[in-house]
Amino acid sequence: MDASDDGWLLRGSGDPSEVAAYYDAWAGNYDADLDDWAYAAPTVVASALLDRVPEARLVLDAGCGTGLVGAALRSAGFTGVLHGIDLSEASLRVAMQSGAYSVLDTADLQQTLAFDDDSFDALSCVGVMTYVPDVERCWREFCRVVRPDGVVVVTQREDLWDERDCAAVIDRLVADGMWTPIWVSDPEPYLPNNEDYTDRIGVHYVAATIRS
């Protein structure tokens, strides 16, 4: 990203067409920029997911972008079917070239997902919740499409954690018998080499098992 970004990445947006346009324009440079900023979340999530469901054969990467999570899952040994969905068609084309994904589709995580209940063994959602203001609706949908005893692993920016009441959302999903959290991290480094984030804005990781 250059100066024309004008703080957009930090500010974010919940408008799907604005988000798609931003990530379409960035798709060609995204991987290199994230590498420069020491982005570790895809590797952390891939290993958290496979540690908890090593037998997973069918995984949904929700908001897959250019495919960094898919690459991390493959590097960590995942050999099953990997389905990626995202708003940004240009990012999906980069993900396709990575060869990590079995299926790639355009989809909006603010809408009901076009999958049956219990479709996946596990789901990853990394760096995406900035753009999804209704956290509870989205996480309930994740619980719906993952099978009982499967796992959901998501990230949420530290500065949005309280603003969007994420701890309370987690608790409501527990109370409603949707999931059992197995890991809710303190803030960990997110984009340490990006001047807007440095050590000021970290990331929370949430991993939860879907209830039977």
Ligand X SMILES: C[S@@+](CC[C@H](N)C(=O)[O-])C[C@H]1O[C@@H](n2cnc3c(N)ncnc32)[C@H](O)[C@@H]1O
Answer yes or no whether residue 42 interacts with ligand X by CB under 6 A.
yes
Answer yes or no whether residue 152 interacts with ligand X by CB under 6 A.
no
Size of the residue set binding ligand X (CB under 6 A): 24
**Under 8 Å between Cβ of 156 and 126:** no
Answer yes or no whether residue 209 interacts with ligand X by CB under 6 A.
no
Length of the chain: 212
Considering only 53, 59, 100, 109, the residue that binds ligand X (CB under 6 A) is 109
Answer yes or no whether residue 127 interacts with ligand X by CB under 6 A.
yes
Sign of CA dihedral 112, 113, 114, 118: negative
Considering only 128, 145, 178, 191, the residue that binds ligand X (CB under 6 A) is 128
Residue nearest to ligand X (CB): 65
DSSP letter assigned to residue 5:
G
Give residue for tokens 């068609």.
89
Residue 177 C-beta: closest distance to ligand X, Å: 26
Answer yes or no whether residue 65 interacts with ligand X by CB under 6 A.
yes
Residue 70 C-beta: closest distance to ligand X, Å: 9
DSSP 3-state assignment of 170? helix
Beta strands 179-184 and 81-86 are: unpaired
Among the residue ranges 15-23, 75-83, 145-153, 203-211, the one whose residues contact ligand X (CB under 6 A): 15-23
190 alpha-carbon distance from chain centroid? 13
**Under 8 Å between Cβ of 150 and 209:** yes
**Under 8 Å between Cβ of 130 and 177:** no
The site for ligand X (CB under 6 A) is made up of: 16, 19-20, 23, 41-42, 63-65, 68-69, 86-88, 91, 107-110, 126-128, 131-132
